[in-house]
Structure 1
Amino acid sequence: MAHVDVDINNIQEQFSFSGDLKKKILGIGGLGVLVLVIGIVMLMFGGGHGHEEHHAALEAAANVASVASDGHGHAADVAAHAEGGEHHGGFHWTTVLKTNLWMNAVYFIGIALLGFFFFTIQFAANAGWSTPVQRIMLNFGRFIPIGGAILLVAFLIGNHDIFHWTHSYLFDPTSPEFDPVIKGKEGFLNLPFYLVRMVVFVAVWTVFFFMLNKLSTNEDLHVGSTVHFRRTQRISVAFLIFFGVSESIASWDWIMSIDTHWYSTLFGWYCLASWLVTAVSSITLVAVILKEMGYLKIVNENHFHDLGKFIFGFSIFWSYLFLAQFLLIYYANIPEETIYFIERLRSGNYFWIFVTMLLFNFVMPFFIMMTRDAKRKTMFLKIVTVVIIIGHWLDFYLMITPGVLKENGGMTLSAIGMGLVFLSGFAYVIFNGLTKAGLIPQNHPMIEEGIYHHT
């Protein structure tokens, strides 16, 4: 691709968040509210889906347990866990709403965090190609404190409905509901420590965002200086160290602890991959939207090509982790592990979601993004990024909802409406944040490399 000369001192663009884009984003939110209200009315008057499928899943789990038991009482543990799951998953329409709220808060704060993570990676790796789109990545961090606040409220109002381990009687040896497995995790799964972890993680992530955002905007004012760039590099490395620990623990806390008896040593990586590919897809989609609006004039098909390669690569990475976790559990056939997938595959309410999720997250990105041209065409990028965002929303739905609602957790209008409301709010925060400073970093020492990037 031929390059044209660009005046480095005259590349700044100021984004104006108004007109059709704002109307479309607010329209999505309005549609979400309408669907949510209809969904709530249907839940209030329609009730649950019945318990036949859940009892079938419990019976299947007991059968697997009896066959695969290693003689140490594991079959009994799984049966007790299954019965306990029905107890804590008692159906009420408000529980569905609390679960929808929690699931969407977790999903979107993860996208915000991983978008910001992708920004810090650029500085830690001394990457120059991404300079023209780094402000997009950075602004994903604006949703972290908002998502954290929603997450805290959702936990405070729904912890007993969503998290079985929050019931105090489970830790009391004199109680008929005493659970020795959950009691063994009391040092980690207890309300004070859990809330401290949540608040500290979100607070530290937020502090890192505001520090790096300030450095990025201040860099625009200092011509010929690399002081802000070097500080950004150092702080980015510090963030990555903290992120490496906190992201995994957050995924255990916010998602895996819902199925308290079940665990996977791969789970932190699995959530990382799911959030990351969604974040990169969202960054790409925002860049495409801005480009089609006439902004980001220095961004060309070479930049989109690299973003497309990341989308393709991270989709394969997620697929590898999914298959590794699934096949190991399937092959080992240990009751404590298989119950997780039995609940998701034996129920008609979840099986179609499971298949759709695999289609959206692996099959379509793999075949559409395989060619070089597809990564360089905005039409293909828009299709794939939207598909991935929906697909991984379904992924998180499957990670969270079956553990709480059991057979009552099939896809509902309330879940879709809540997702659209969150999507609208998330997009509004990102695009509104882009108005706070120029779209293109000024005085970045690698801006010229970013402008003349070629693949």
Structure 2
Amino acid sequence: MGAHHHEVVSVEEQFEFTAESKRNLLIGMGIGAALVLVGAYLLSQGGGHGHEAHDAAHAAAGHAAEHAHDHGHGYHWTQRIIANLWVNSVYFAGISVVGMFFISYNYLAQAGWSAVFKRVPEAMPAFLPIPAIIIIVIAVLFGDKLFHWMHEGIMDPTSEHYDAIIAGKKGFLNKPFYYIRLVLYFGLWYGLWRVIRTLSLQEDEIGGTGNYYKSIKFGTAFLVVFAVTSSTSAWDLVMSIDTHWFSTMFGWYTLASWHVAGLATMTLTIVTLKEKGYLKAVNASHLHDLGKFCFAFSIFWTYVWFAQFLLIYYANLPEETIYFRERFSGYGGIYKGPFFVNIILNFVLPFLVLMTRDSKRTSIILKVACWSILVGHYFDFYTNIMPGTVGANGGFGAVEFGFVLLFACGFIWSVSTQLTKANLIPRNHPMLEESLHHDIA
């Protein structure tokens, strides 16, 4: 793949979001909505969780789990709907913001190789307002259905529901501060993306390096913001569900999960666009590097996952190990399956599939690995969020499939719309020439 191969490649490419694509996505959303409605009806009729399962599960989970997740005033089937909305919103918000994360560290490194496909990660954060609105609305209106620390009287020493451990976290876990943080996360992420997106589109029109250097500054500002907010948002959105339990590695762990899922989304999008005849300038070396990213960060996620697990395992303190106990043997063992699916799809499969050089240059193998990562990391968030929110009443049915389909179609729609708004290849990017001749023979 020498330089001569690229001289004929045109950098003028307009993505067309066809009527057929829109129709397919609308059909997907329709099926998703229908599945959610059918699933909700079944749940309301008591499908999928009887009292026997609930009792057996609590016995298995042990007293500590019962204490940590005493949903007190009884479970209502709508909690599973709310928990599903939360899982998908957290998962897709992470994938969206990783588009910005990728652009920012490439700007900071002044990396040239990624310039030809920069429009793909650049399009991803456009979806952020959707999960942002859902998360903020749920937190304000239904927070007590997800979060033990939001329950009435939990921080009041005179109440029968008083919990001294949770009350000790009142400085951080209180509703006003929590809502402010949620607004700040999404406001900062989306706001900084809008700035970089605008600079990128202007660069296409006027050329020069002014916008490029401004982008480096804003990208660096985003990395500073994200260095803090990626951890604190992980605590707020996921870890605070299990209020008694905490892990000092949880921020890294969630960032690793979001990052590799975002990279897989990007790679899958680029491969799919290439198959449809777009992004002709993307060559085997670009795909190889994207494959390396997915491979490397699958291993990094596993490293963080295992390090967190190992520290908790050998400390063997009840307040630490309850987190894994619940997922292994708690609630009648319903989370054991997803727990192991998570490890196989996120580590074993990508590790084996992407190990060789040629596999990273082969579209079909890249697609298999990326789908494995995407499904696997959905289960990662599922096993982190569901046990603490719905406990024994969890499961995997029509509601879960329906919401995944709705969110995925919405995300694809959002990215496709953004891709139509500019030339698919940033024609005046200062590093474009380097990217066009990217070759790692």
Give the TM interval when normalised to the shorter protein.
over 0.9
Q: What's the counterpart of residue 204 of structure 1?
A: 188
Q: Deviations over 1:108-160 (max 9, x none)?
A: 00110112111111101111000011110111111122221121112223201
Q: What's the counterpart of residue 222 of structure 2?
A: 239
Q: Deviations over 1:202-230 (max 9, x none)?
A: 1111110110000000001223x111100
2:365 to 380, 395, 415: 380
Q: What's the counterpart of residue 178 of structure 2?
A: 194
Amino acid across the alignment from 1:333:
N
Is 2:406 aligned against 1:421?
Answer: yes
SS in 2 for 1:86: coil
Is 2:376 aligned against 1:360?
Answer: no
8 Å CA contact 1:344, 1:354 repeated in 2: yes
Spell out the pairing of 1:31-430 with structure 2 (5 A cutoff): 31-47=31-47, 49-52=49-52, 55=55, 58-59=58-59, 62=62, 79=63, 82-88=66-72, 90-223=74-207, 225-346=208-329, 347-430=332-415
Measure how far apart 1:31 and its partner are: 2.1
Q: For residues 332 and 59 of structure 1, do their structure 2 counterparts lie closer, same or farther at Cα, with a shift above 3 Å needed?
A: farther
Gapped regions of structure 1 (runs ≥ 5):
63-78
Distance, in Å, in 2 between the alignment partners of 1:83 and 1:89 is 13
Amino acid across the alignment from 2:148:
H
Distance, in Å, in 1 between the alignment partners of 2:319 and 2:144 is 23
Q: Deviations over 1:223-262 (max 9, x none)?
A: 3x11110000011001100110011000000100000000
Q: What's the counterpart of residue 21 of structure 1?
A: 21
Q: Deviations over 1:250-306 (max 9, x none)?
A: 000010000000000000000000000000000011111111111101001110100
Distance, in Å, in 1 between the alignment partners of 2:191 and 2:429 is 22
Distance, in Å, in 2 between the alignment partners of 1:358 and 1:200 is 33
Distance, in Å, in 2 between the alignment partners of 1:412 and 1:390 is 15
Measure how far apart 1:167 and its partner are: 1.8
Measure how far apart 1:373 and its partner are: 0.8
8 Å CA contact 1:32, 1:416 repeated in 2: yes
Measure how far apart 1:53 and its partner are: 5.3
Q: What's the counterpart of residue 76 of structure 1?
A: none
TM-score normalised by L of structure 1 = 0.92
SS in 1 for 2:45: helix
Paired residue total:
438
8 Å CA contact 1:50, 1:407 repeated in 2: no
Q: What's the counterpart of residue 68 of structure 1?
A: none
Distance, in Å, in 2 between the alignment partners of 1:157 and 1:390 is 29
Q: Deviations over 1:35-65 (max 9, x none)?
A: 2122112111134523555555554565xxx
Distance, in Å, in 2 between the alignment partners of 1:56 and 1:265 is 32
Distance, in Å, in 1 between the alignment partners of 2:51 and 2:242 is 19
Distance, in Å, in 1 between the alignment partners of 2:46 and 2:58 is 24
Distance, in Å, in 2 between the alignment partners of 1:155 and 1:343 is 24
8 Å CA contact 1:17, 1:431 repeated in 2: yes
8 Å CA contact 2:116, 2:281 repeated in 1: yes
Distance, in Å, in 1 between the alignment partners of 2:240 and 2:350 is 30
Measure how far apart 1:5 and its partner are: 5.5
8 Å CA contact 1:291, 1:297 repeated in 2: yes
8 Å CA contact 1:86, 1:406 repeated in 2: no
Q: For residues 6 and 47 of structure 1, do their structure 2 counterparts lie closer, same or farther at Cα, with a shift above 3 Å needed?
A: closer
Amino acid across the alignment from 1:270:
Y
Alpha carbon RMSD of aligned pairs, Å?
1.8
Distance, in Å, in 2 between the alignment partners of 1:337 and 1:60 is 17
Amino acid across the alignment from 1:241:
V
Distance, in Å, in 2 between the alignment partners of 1:286 and 1:24 is 17
Distance, in Å, in 2 between the alignment partners of 1:57 and 1:29 is 34
Distance, in Å, in 2 between the alignment partners of 1:400 and 1:357 is 13
TM-score normalised by L of structure 2 = 0.95
Gapped regions of structure 2 (runs ≥ 5):
none
